[in-house]
Amino acid sequence: MGKFFDVALLFIIVLSIILVMLESVADLNAKYFWEFYIAEWLITFFFTVEYILRIIAINKPKKYIFSFYGIVDLLSTIPTYIAVIFGGHNLLFAIRALRLLRVFRVLKITRYVGESNRLLVALRNSRAKIIVFLFTVFIICIIMGTLMHLVEGEAGGFNNIPISVYWCIVTLTTVGYGDIAPITPLGQAIASFIMITGYGIIAVPTGIVSAEYTRYFNRPAPTNTQVCPNCNESRHLDDAEFCHNCGNKMNLD
């Protein structure tokens, strides 16, 4: 029963996101306005019931309401109601923004992803290094962007420093839209230098995460499941004969 509810919920979440996305397509919204309208209210009703049931079922409703999932669940429900209340007003942009908030329903899916926790741990461990790295990239972009603004001038689209910095980020991250591109030989030479630098330093965050992961894997080997019978310590070197925590003799398997 609980499993059926889970699958049904997952199905409705995916459906509701597809609905929000399709509603934004002008043609489809004009054609299927009423179908979208009814489906939207059915989903909102379902999520409202789910939200209320969760509050009733859980021991500490206050903790749930202010938790990550509680806020996500609320955000999944409330925009439809608010859009109705303020529907008569002319705050069109605000309404539209509110309605699009429904897209956060996608975060409801994260409940189903258990594996991601591990990934988050690995990312969190190398967070400080990656932030410093991205910060360095940003400083490089500001300096090189200013240089390109000076060299290229307005001919190649480098009208001001912010847009030159934007171009530099687009280039250094190897995205390369091509809407702004250097046209003077000197500008192209500097751009080449930036690109090759970007190619060289893209290795850094990868190396950090990779090393973090390798370290993570190398520590508790999956074949070494021995646990100290005295203190229940579980991380041991492969050839440990004594527990490194309490000095007890290990039972080797």
Inter-CA distances, 249 with 141, 229, 233, 243, 252, Å:
57, 9, 12, 6, 9
Does the footprint of a copy of itself cover residue 32 (CB under 8 A)? no
Chain centre distance of CA 138: 20
Q: Please, which of residues 103-142 interact with a copy of itself by CB under 8 A?
A: 103-104, 106-107, 109-110, 113, 115-116, 118-119, 122-123, 128-130, 132-139, 142
Q: Which is nearer to a copy of itself, 58 or 71 (CB)?
A: 71
Minimum gap (Å) between residue 65 Cβ and a copy of itself: 22
Whether 102 contacts 16, CB under 8 Å: yes
Q: Which is nearer to a copy of itself, 84 or 100 (CB)?
A: 100
Does the footprint of a copy of itself cover residue 71 (CB under 8 A)? no
Does the footprint of a copy of itself cover residue 245 (CB under 8 A)? yes
Does the footprint of a copy of itself cover residue 14 (CB under 8 A)? no
Q: Which of 52, 100, 121, 186 binds a copy of itself (CB under 8 A)?
A: 100
Q: Which of 97, 121, 155, 186 binds a copy of itself (CB under 8 A)?
A: 97
SS3 for 47-84 is: HHHHHHHHHHHCCCHHHHHCCHHHHHHHHHHHHHHHHH
Size of the site for a copy of itself (CB under 8 A): 101
* Residue 116 burial (CB count, 10 A): 11
Does the footprint of a copy of itself cover residue 238 (CB under 8 A)? yes
Instruction: Report helix, strand or coil for 96.
Output: helix
